[in-house]
């Protein structure tokens, strides 16, 4: 492995000439910075900033010395308290060098006005954490790192990747709002410059934060309007598990099938709830090369990504009469299978290994871009339901080799359809809140950690704009969201943008020393599945002729 390509991190205030005497981030060597980070990691990374009397700590962060976290401040949701060690990292490639004054002005006028981005967590007199407003100092939130020029010149892509990996081992300043913009202003093979946005998960789940970010962008074709997003599904108006009641004219059999769907819903929910409790207590995935051998905190994560063709994904979707999510789950099955059998050298290609993935699902309604814009402009979030209201789905992943690549998609569709006929996500959300209320944060966190550590993978899929966007006047080339914090060695996230589907991996470096090989397997798996789907389409056309 190459040596790390960073030397120091410099706040924007140093670059702009307003150097603060005694700034601990100024003129810091990489060794000293790593040592300081290691020292900070030895203490609990609680995000609750409070004085001994329950008031928010001042420390120059703009919270008044007498400002107590009172009943007027919003309570931190139970879900947000459970993810206090989880962070979201969004890597964005832009098509032009960074215009720092324009970027700073845009962040100050948009993101920094969002209530959660100008608040910290503080405990009230009863010990409950609340969101307390504070003053945002952009000099501490916009970070312009000074990298090793030789390392950047040698391999700029690796320099970006190495730097982003270091974020997973560095704590954030809990006395300030928990978000950062890291500006890497040099060209790579993908973009003219790169930004890495790090946000604490308590500020919102991935989808809500991405929606907020997109609300701060504008269409590159017409900067006066918001970017175009994919249309919402028209075939389903209720919850995903709801089966529409057929009209009376459909006949008795249709009504009987509709009634039977509720029996299946109840049965599937019972099975999934039993599996949920079994996973907490004793049911764990078999040990494979995808599963972390130990669960020590502070293990470094490497975040990598690769672009796939969204048109190819949609072609498979149409050929197989399934959803985009079904295709992506199937491609993931295929990629993990290719990687596993190549790395292990296992000659028994008839074997199938069953591991499981955790899907975090936010139960809050989807917020429109315009609603986010209104919230930013008003500085109030009362009209928008925001933050984490999380439930969990335990999704089986099958590792095996198939002669027919489409078998991966068929299997994925069958499993995903089965999970849609269950109230598992609602129950797990309610169970989390009840456990937190009865047993407290420490016990609930231990149970949450145990459940995730008994599975193998975290998986998610998010949709993005269907046209190119500009962020603070900078054209966006790609969007690659990921994160770190879960005790699993592998996190898989898909993100669509224009005609690209970006696959993003967050991997333990010790467990996956070659993550780009796994990315190659995703590319090859989609190619094979797309080719097989093309043959299916030709056969269907011949049949109609």
Catalytic residues, by residue number, are 201
Strand partners for 258: none
Phi and psi for 68 in degrees, rounded to 5? -95, 150
What gap in Å lies between CA 85 and CA 158, rounded to an integer?
26
Number of helical (H) and strand (E) elements in the chain, helices listed first: 14, 17
The HSE-up count of residue 38 (CA atoms within 13 Å, CB side) is 6
- Structure tokens that stand for 16 in this block: 């702009």
Q: Which of 101, 94, 49 is nearest to 76 (CA)?
A: 49
- Structure tokens that stand for 432 in this block: 């989390």
DSSP code for 400: -
CB-based burial of residue 293 (10 Å sphere; 0-12 exposed, 13-18 middle, 19+ buried)? Answer: exposed
What gap in Å lies between CA 89 and CA 168, rounded to an integer?
9
What gap in Å lies between CA 62 and CA 136, rounded to an integer?
7
Show contacts of 523-526: CB within 8 Å, 24+ apart: 523/306, 523/308, 524/335, 524/338, 525/331, 525/334, 525/335, 525/338, 525/405, 525/408, 526/308, 526/309, 526/312, 526/313, 526/316, 526/331
- Structure tokens that stand for 27 in this block: 């003129």
Strand partners for 87: 200, 484
479 touches 216 (CB < 8 A): no
Element (H, E) at 534: helix 515-544
For the stretch 73-108, what's the b/e string if a residue is b when 16 or more beta carbons lie within 10 angstroms of its beta carbon?
Answer: bbebbbbbbbbbbbbbbbbbbbeeebbbeebbebbe
Phi and psi for 516 in degrees, rounded to 5? -70, -25
């Amino acid at each position: 492995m190459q040596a790390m390509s960073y030397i120091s991190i410099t706040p924007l205030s140093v670059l702009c000439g307003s150097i603060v005497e005694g700034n601990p981030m100024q003129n810091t060597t990489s060794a000293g910075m790593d040592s300081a980070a290691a020292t900070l990691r030895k203490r609990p990374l609680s995000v609750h900033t409070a004085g001994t009397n329950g008031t928010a700590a001042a420390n120059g962060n703009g919270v008044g010395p007498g400002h107590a976290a009172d009943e007027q401040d919003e309570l931190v949701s139970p879900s947000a308290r459970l993810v206090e060690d989880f962070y979201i990292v969004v890597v964005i490639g832009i098509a032009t060098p960074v215009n720092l004054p324009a970027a700073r002005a845009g962040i100050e006028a948009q993101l920094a006005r969002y209530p959660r981005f100008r608040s910290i967590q503080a405990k009230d007199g009863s010990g409950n954490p609340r969101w307390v407003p504070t003053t945002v100092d952009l000099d501490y939130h916009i970070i312009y790192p000074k990298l090793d020029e030789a390392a950047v010149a040698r391999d700029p892509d690796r320099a970006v990747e190495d730097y982003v990996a270091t974020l997973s081992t560095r704590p954030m300043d809990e006395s300030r709002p928990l978000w950062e913009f890291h500006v890497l202003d040099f060209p790579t093979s993908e973009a003219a410059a790169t930004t890495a946005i790090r946000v604490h998960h308590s500020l919102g789940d991935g989808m809500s934060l991405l929606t907020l970010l997109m609300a701060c962008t504008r269409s590159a074709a017409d900067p006066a309007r918001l970017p175009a997003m994919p249309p919402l599904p028209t075939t389903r108006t209720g919850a995903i598990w709801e089966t529409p009641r057929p009209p009376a004219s459909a006949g008795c059999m249709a009504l009987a099938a509709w009634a039977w769907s509720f029996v299946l819903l109840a049965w599937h929910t019972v099975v999934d709830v039993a599996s949920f409790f079994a996973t907490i207590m004793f049911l764990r995935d078999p040990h494979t090369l995808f599963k972390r051998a130990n669960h020590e905190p502070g293990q470094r994560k490497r975040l990598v990504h690769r672009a796939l063709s969204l048109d190819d994904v949609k072609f498979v979707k149409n050929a197989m009469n399934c959803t985009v999510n079904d295709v992506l789950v199937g491609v993931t099955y295929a990629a993990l299978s290719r990687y596993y059998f190549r790395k292990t050298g296992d000659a028994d290609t008839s074997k199938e290994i069953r591991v499981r993935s955790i899907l975090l699902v936010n139960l809050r309604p989807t917020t429109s871009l315009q609603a986010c814009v209104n919230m930013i402009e008003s500085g109030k979030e009362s009209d928008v339901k925001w933050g984490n209201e999380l439930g969990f789905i335990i999704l089986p992943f099958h590792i095996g080799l198939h002669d027919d690549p489409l078998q991966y998609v068929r299997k994925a569709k069958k499993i995903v359809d089965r999970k849609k006929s269950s109230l598992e996500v609602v129950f797990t959300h309610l169970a989390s809140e009840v456990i937190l209320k009865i047993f407290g944060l420490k016990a609930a966190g231990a149970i949450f950690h145990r459940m995730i550590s008994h599975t193998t993978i975290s998986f998610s899929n998010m949709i993005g704009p269907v046209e190119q966007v500009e962020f603070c006047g900078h054209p966006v080339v790609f969007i690659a969201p990921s994160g770190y914090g879960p005790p699993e060695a592998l996190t898989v996230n898909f993100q669509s943008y224009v005609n690209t589907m970006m696959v993003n991996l967050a991997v333990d470096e010790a467990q996956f020393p070659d993550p780009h090989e796994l990315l190659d397997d995703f590319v090859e798996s989609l190619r094979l599945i797309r080719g097989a789907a093309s043959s299916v389409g030709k056969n269907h056309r011949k049949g109609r002729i």
